[in-house]
């Protein structure tokens, strides 16, 4: 995100803290779609993503006075979205279903050569699903969303070194999973 965006957000937050409710409306217009998209990216359900975005706004409104540096709104608010999304995933306990799907897919034989690439991609995605949530998040933010390690650390409220470490360990686990499944030589 550009630096000017941080300043716009900071001004809107300060205006809202000073009693300008219109500033909150502008902030919602700037961020609501991003919150929905981020939650949808994590939970894979558009209706749940909208609910998570709404819950995020409720949390933001109730805690915005505790935000010490308004320029950090982007990472602070996205961290709330991520946390609420992860909480929803934990409640759903979909791990068992995902493991069953993974075993079914990994036991099927490759049908034709042109399907081998698709099978490998599916197995890679399933291998990623086997990683702990914190490692899945770093992998997805780094490779899918093209976040830098610095942006990942801000979004997840962890140090840059922790981001780097989680990415390294996630890669190593993926290598082991894929090697054990004979997808890597």
- pLDDT tens sequence across 86-135: 888 888 765 556 566 666 555 554 345 556 777 777 877 888 888 888 88
Which tokens in the block code for residue 117?
Answer: 């690439």
Ranges under pLDDT 70 in the chain: 1-4, 93-115, 181-185
Task: Let me know if the fold of 3-92 is the same as that of 95-180.
Answer: no
Question: What residues contact residue 81 under an 8 Å CB cut-off, 6+ apart?
Answer: 35, 38, 39, 52, 53, 56
Provide the pLDDT for residue 119. 75
How buried is residue 79: exposed, middle or buried, by Cβ count under 10 Å (0-12/13-18/19+)? middle
| For the chain, domain boundaries | 3-92, 95-180
pLDDT of residue 31: 94
Q: What is the CATH number of domain 95-180?
A: 1.10.10.10
CB 165 within 8 A of CB 139: no
pLDDT of residue 128: 83
**DSSP alpha helix (H) spans, 64-159:** 73-92, 95-107, 113-130, 133-139, 149-156
Fold (CATH) for 3-92: Rna Polymerase Sigma Factor; Chain: A (1.10.1740)
Instruction: Output the six-digit token pair for 78.
Output: 């996205």
pLDDT the model gives residue 5: 75
Structure tokens at 4: 């000017």
Helix and strand numbers, DSSP H then E, in the chain: 9, 0
């Amino acid at each position: 995100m550009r630096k000017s965006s941080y300043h716009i957000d900071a001004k809107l937050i300060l205006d809202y803290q000073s009693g300008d409710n219109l500033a909150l409306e502008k902030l919602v217009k700037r961020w609501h779609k991003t919150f929905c998209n981020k939650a949808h990216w994590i939970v894979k359900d558009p209706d749940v993503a909208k609910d998570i975005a709404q819950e995020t706004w409720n949390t933001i409104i109730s805690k915005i006075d505790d935000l010490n540096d308004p320029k950090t709104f982007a990472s602070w608010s996205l961290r709330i979205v991520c946390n609420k999304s992860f909480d929803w995933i934990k409640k759903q306990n979909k791990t068992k279903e995902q493991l069953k799907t993974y075993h079914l897919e990994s036991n099927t034989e490759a049908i034709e050569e042109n399907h081998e690439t698709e099978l490998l991609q599916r197995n890679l995605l399933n291998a990623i699903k086997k990683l702990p949530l914190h490692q899945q998040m770093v992998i997805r933010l780094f490779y899918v969303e093209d976040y830098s390690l610095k942006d990942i650390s801000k979004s997840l409220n962890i140090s840059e070194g922790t981001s780097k470490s989680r990415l390294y360990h996630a890669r190593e686990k993926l290598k082991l999973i894929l090697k054990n499944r004979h997808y890597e030589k």
